[in-house]
Structure 1
């Protein structure tokens, strides 16, 4: 059955599908679950005006399409009852048992949790999902089916901002999760549905180009399919199935972004899948294909001998067809069993193998995947929900490299990983105590980028500790979470000691008692949970020491003349950019000309943004202290920071105050710089300006830095709200006619 449900779903249709793959299933329990859900959701409507029960029915049908067990189907029918109706967890447990009750609880969102922002709420919801799916992966299967149906009906939601927020969350979290458990069909559909909402113009442009190519070469796919089939038969392979397909719009877009190439430069818009009987047949088919066509260098990947983390197995190769077509294609070769895992992933393990309807404890469906364990360790190490969400995204987006320990243990890491990432992947304590590494028997720096097949030996020392500088080059969420946890603990102790000393000095100067017994009654007034929190707040300048004295002894307060502040200069392109003054107390910040507020700054510190890297909200940033000039904010990947490597004490840990931005509504426009390579034609500048305008951005400066006969290099400074806005503009430029390359300028 297709993942998509073409016709309205009824309970009888659902029961018929389940009966088809599980004749002995407890269909009566499914009907009772439907009756409970229908009664609970009575009177509720979807955004398109349909009765709400159509949604849980559709979710259940999606899971039935994957041949899942009765508990999963019942959970799909009931997954919104606790959240949106008066049904309680205890009622579900009494009616359907502990398994269903726990699955429903795992899917249920934290809607009653009072949080400061949607960003934090999203992080908390995902945090609960990780905990639930670590106990039973079926929680994730139900959640993915729920999100898939919501995305299919997202166009009925009226508010554009709500549609785009849901689509962005789907693209950032749920599509990668579907990929990590091997559900390729679900991942692809989620990506394309999200992409159509987030980048509707680019999506339409790519679909138009695909339609044009389809019209130009309508017979190409069938001709190549028949040719591949003949080659396999000539090689002695009998039972062979060959299918051709086009890349999806999002997949094309993603590859254009990652490789920074134009549409015309992609070599695998057309791909062909060869399904054979056995593992040995896969390699025979590969030999036949390579013997017949020219192989594209660097395009061969053997995921059969080295499967992906999610269990995916297949051989991928890129070849060039014979003339007159000379077209580049991708060929994927796998067995039918491998194809089932590739399409359905973890869901394939939960498919009915007999009439019992439930897998046993020893079946693959109950094994906790390694990446789920990694997410749990990130959850433990991350101090805040937002940080957990950021580190988790790092863990989900992985282009892998495979390395080995000296004992031959295979460790899978994301592309760009370092020995520090390897150390944390082996064990958190090994990462914490790492002091060096040997790669293939040679001493290598800890920032060395590991390659496929490297043998890595980690050198540890008793009492070793993570270095704050590691955070600049590690790429795994697990490593970053542990490093941040250690640095935060060290920094907190430093602030605590400094705050205690500053308070003692302030009370001593006023000649009054500043003991802990005196301070405890004013903790609530100062909005601090404990004395330690108060010391830390004073130590990091969130609260002034004299403010604490005056809160404790109000009679000592006297009028203090406000310091004279020199107004910041307006932002000028090519200079250090707009200035702002950090807040005078607490987390409040004075903004000059409506600038973006920051956290991590003391009172009265002048701040300006570096022109070398043009930091934007969404960038990971760092402050550099300069005597007499305050703090200059750079992106953490700015090359200029190398000039300050010898004076690490000048670095200041700062970040954007996202909560303040959420409360403040529309963000202030800031300058981002884009580097373009475009065809040297008269219309290209008009194309650039029109594209930038389409994305609600403004060009404030444009410079042609190199002009040749057939191309030109252009630097464009645009006013955008944040990093995501800049990425959208860059994406639009990459898809624009005449633009061959667009990227963010780094210097």
Structure 2
């Protein structure tokens, strides 16, 4: 068939829903693209123009508007022919040029890796999506045709494109409710990655379908008869199981092929929402429903706008899955956001709700993009967020929120608002206090308890599942870490300057700038941050600020930054025990207020506080300070962990006595463990929370007074 005939066929297709003037604009875009791609061939040997034309056909099947179809014709012009965006704007208008530019890759930039190039291109497309959602529809149609014609490409390129499709584009199609595009992308990706598995499953499905044809027809006949008896309108369709779906169920749900295929699936399409519920009653009177297998996605639509009634029945010795929906719900189930253009004239409620859901999703993508440090982190968050399964939970005021399966109260808090997530300290699930890490279930009511000044806990990153929560937590922790490293760096620098008899305020601005330039950092705050993180020595920077010069000896010390020792004659730095992410207490000696302590700079991670007698403090022969003398503030009220070793005679109930003694002394047991025991003696390891040495002495005295206790000591490594 000639290209002219193909564009004529497209014209016939468009005439069903577009007027003549708009069809002529699409044809003009086709001829422009044909001229631009003159002489270019696809890997298969076909003229290149066959690809844009096929993409336009896919969008025409979705009944998209004329500007989307024009962009489909022109989508490779900027990238492959050197025609600039301005030329397209002049010929076809800004909206079409913006769509084409949004789909075009960043070919003019050199990337270090293919993953970085993929991430940057996806980020660029996301920005364009935020302005016009049609960008992703053109891209999905482009990807669908490329997947249909992967055959002639080299093996490695096929594998890479198929993996990218399954990781990103099929889940996006699912997120946008475009079921038909999603399932085709998944099956094509599966066939490309695992050709033999795809072939065997396909053959098994065809063989099984032939042998089950009689049962299928009998069930369909009974359903049709029931609808006729009840005078209910509805057409009954068989529902195909897709190869990728079958494979994933076999792989991840550990089901056999016959277990999956012994379920007979039908879809009943009717006229109104009311008819859906009446048909549900009719099929339940025909076959017995399986308990717990009914889902009402009409009253509570999925996050991508999908609506339908799902029920599973048991009849004729087999399970029968039935989906019941209206014609409009069927269109939205198959085409998702693309169905918005089908119903654009009447602006139906279902279509508008679907549009709002997509707008919320794109807005969430933009928030994640703003918080991510780079495009690779952004694409990681997006992949995490493309979950197929949703749960539905309620706010205390009855508003429904959709979250991915496995979501926690922290995910819920960030879904409401970023500020609520950041200030979250506790939660109630169904009015009962619960752990923030508890996995939520559909139908639960979740209430978030916040506190002013609260900050995200780094441990949250181990259990949150939404991209928004993950990116928000990381963003706050990065800013917190930066602020704390600057403050710690300033404290250490002031202390080092005092050794030279100078204050930070005495140093001139020009001298500060000279030292900043000499150390090749962007600003003085960045230099302080480097000191706070342990990447630079405060003493050396102080000496540069005082003298304006750096000796060869200083340079050698900066390069060998692990050298340690405490300089004499310096005032110690005061610590409160609540300094944040960059001041940590060593697990080996577990220092507490009252212990003589020193700070050891841990390159890139800030300061670790040890008891000054700890065996794990680094030795140092260089008299210039990686160790920092510290003193405790007087008004510390926080609790600190201490490990105790208790030797006691074995008696009934003695462990309870020890626990009671700790409680009477206002201590709190974090962990208790019996390490050794024989017929007469036991050795118990206790980790206790105390607020200082005096408190610890009180706890130890109480435990020592127990008659069965023979010895108690504090454990230091």
Please, what TM-score do these two structures have when normalized by structure 1?
0.68
2:28 corresponds to: 32
Are residues 6 and 477 of structure 1, via their aligned partners in 2, closer, same or farther at CA, if it must alter by over 3 Å? Answer: farther
Structure 2: gaps spanning 5 or more residues: 563-601, 606-613, 619-638, 643-717
Q: Quote the Cα distance in structure 1 between the aligned partners of 2:139 and 2:53.
A: 14
Are residues 455 and 7 of structure 1, via their aligned partners in 2, closer, same or farther at CA, if it must alter by over 3 Å? Answer: farther
Q: Quote the Cα distance in structure 2 between the aligned partners of 1:317 and 1:13.
A: 41
1:574 corresponds to: none
Q: Which of 390, 393, 399 is residue 389 of structure 2 equivalent to?
A: 399
2:324 corresponds to: 333
Are residues 462 and 539 of structure 1, via their aligned partners in 2, closer, same or farther at CA, if it must alter by over 3 Å? Answer: closer
1:555 corresponds to: 552
Q: Quote the Cα distance in structure 2 between the aligned partners of 1:257 and 1:552.
A: 66
Q: Quote the Cα distance in structure 2 between the aligned partners of 1:242 and 1:377.
A: 43
1:337 partner SS: helix
**Which structure carries more relative contact order (alpha carbon 8 Å, separation 6+)?**
1
Contact (CA 8 Å) 1:30, 1:70: kept in 2 or not? yes
Given the alignment of the two structures, is residue 293 of structure 1 paired with residue 287 of structure 2, yes or no? yes
Matches within 5 A, 1:414-563: 414-499=404-489, 528-537=521-530, 539-540=532-533, 553=550, 555-556=552-553
Contact (CA 8 Å) 2:175, 2:388: kept in 1 or not? no
2:151 partner SS: helix
Are residues 221 and 51 of structure 1, via their aligned partners in 2, closer, same or farther at CA, if it must alter by over 3 Å? Answer: same
Given the alignment of the two structures, is residue 190 of structure 1 paired with residue 185 of structure 2, yes or no? yes
1:254 corresponds to: 248
2:15 partner SS: helix
Q: Quote the Cα distance in structure 2 between the aligned partners of 1:543 and 1:231.
A: 81
Are residues 6 and 193 of structure 1, via their aligned partners in 2, closer, same or farther at CA, if it must alter by over 3 Å? Answer: farther
Deviations 1:267-317 (A, max 9, x none): 675421111222222122222222222333332211111111222111112
Q: Quote the Cα distance in structure 2 between the aligned partners of 1:648 and 1:387.
A: 35
Q: Quote the Cα distance in structure 1 between the aligned partners of 2:641 and 2:71.
A: 54
1:78 corresponds to: 74
Q: Quote the Cα distance in structure 2 between the aligned partners of 1:552 and 1:143.
A: 58
1:377 partner SS: helix
Aligned residues: 567
- Quote the offset at 1:327 in angstroms: 2.3
Contact (CA 8 Å) 2:337, 2:355: kept in 1 or not? no
Deviations 1:490-511 (A, max 9, x none): 1223333455566788899999
Q: Quote the Cα distance in structure 2 between the aligned partners of 1:6 and 1:240.
A: 41
Are residues 509 and 207 of structure 1, via their aligned partners in 2, closer, same or farther at CA, if it must alter by over 3 Å? Answer: farther
1:386 corresponds to: 376
Structure 1 vs Structure 2 CA RMSD: 3.9
Q: Quote the Cα distance in structure 1 between the aligned partners of 2:561 and 2:531.
A: 20
Are residues 419 and 366 of structure 1, via their aligned partners in 2, closer, same or farther at CA, if it must alter by over 3 Å? Answer: closer
1:246 partner SS: coil
Are residues 504 and 385 of structure 1, via their aligned partners in 2, closer, same or farther at CA, if it must alter by over 3 Å? Answer: farther
Please, what TM-score do these two structures have when normalized by structure 2?
0.71
The structure having more radius of gyration, on CA atoms, is: 2
Matches within 5 A, 1:668-687: none
- Quote the offset at 1:245 in angstroms: 2.7
Structure 1: gaps spanning 5 or more residues: 565-600, 605-625, 631-645, 650-747
Moved more, 366-375 or 517-526: 517-526
Given the alignment of the two structures, is residue 311 of structure 1 paired with residue 288 of structure 2, yes or no? no
Contact (CA 8 Å) 1:252, 1:269: kept in 2 or not? no
Deviations 1:100-147 (A, max 9, x none): 122222222222233332222222222222222122211111111111
Q: Quote the Cα distance in structure 2 between the aligned partners of 1:526 and 1:102.
A: 44
Q: Quote the Cα distance in structure 2 between the aligned partners of 1:365 and 1:85.
A: 37
Given the alignment of the two structures, is residue 155 of structure 1 paired with residue 158 of structure 2, yes or no? no
Deviations 1:413-471 (A, max 9, x none): 11222222111111111111122222222222222222222222222222222222222
Contact (CA 8 Å) 1:267, 1:328: kept in 2 or not? no
1:725 corresponds to: none
Q: Which of 13, 25, 41 is residue 17 of structure 1 equivalent to?
A: 13
